[in-house]
Amino acid sequence: MKILVVDDERTLVKGIKFNLENEGYQVECAYDGAAAVELARNDKFDLLILDVMMPEVDGLEACMRIREFSNVPIIMLTAKSEDADKLMGFECGADDYLTKPFNILELKARVRALLRRAAGVQRSRGAVLTVGDLSLNTEERVAIRDGETVELTAKEYDLIELLMRNPRRVYSRENLMNVVWGYSYAGDYRTVDVHIRRLREKLEKNPAEPDHIMTKWGVGYYFKG
């Protein structure tokens, strides 16, 4: 597995690189957002770790640019802990978020979780799920609407696959955080709302009046089979 670590704090990058290489990963490093975009465009990585505050091009802008051509899993690092900053990261296409200072063991755990999900290790049986005009190829982790491939991030894919495999089962936002993300965000369940909205924008013909990804008001979300 090949990981790109991008942060203008060179000492931090060195420490992350050392720890990830000890886990058996191949690690490339960069120190600004512009370099991150170029490296992601010209090389194949299994996961990116991007700092938010960087010179030239910040991490949020870099994340958005990378999302134009890649769905590689992205973990954002930031010194800010406000919920609004986390939600902005998810809006830009990040899959996970970690606030500095962080425990390196937690970073490694999140790296493993994202890589595992991206590789489809925890897939259920069945190569293709189809409901109406929507299909999921679970072997290739690809979503298809009306015969056209739809680009989803790793977390967006995990979320829609869970919902499609369990039609009409209502999941609370806390349930979805625990199942899809694998841990709690200490109550910041608006992360789920952001991902649901983005899925509707990508998969529903009319996101304002969805046919598939439904809301059970006061309870959570479900997939209408």
Region 171-193: what's the mean pLDDT? Answer: 77
Is the residue at 123 inside a domain? no
Q: Check residues 84 and 34 and name the one with the higher pLDDT.
A: 34
| pLDDT surpasses 50 at 121 | no
Residues 9 and 31 in one domain: yes
Confidence band, pLDDT 50/70/90 cuts, at residue 138? confident
Q: Which range of residues forms the domain containing residue 166?
A: 128-223
Residues 62 and 150 in one domain: no
Residues 138 and 113 in one domain: no
CB count in 10 Å sphere of residue 144: 16
Residues 59 and 34 in one domain: yes
Residues 81 and 141 in one domain: no
Residues 134 and 100 in one domain: no
Q: What CATH number has the domain bearing residue 35?
A: 3.40.50.2300
Residues 94 and 149 in one domain: no
Residues 141 and 103 in one domain: no
Region 179-200: what's the mean pLDDT? Answer: 78
| pLDDT surpasses 90 at 35 | yes
Number of structural domains (the chain) is 2
| pLDDT surpasses 70 at 82 | no
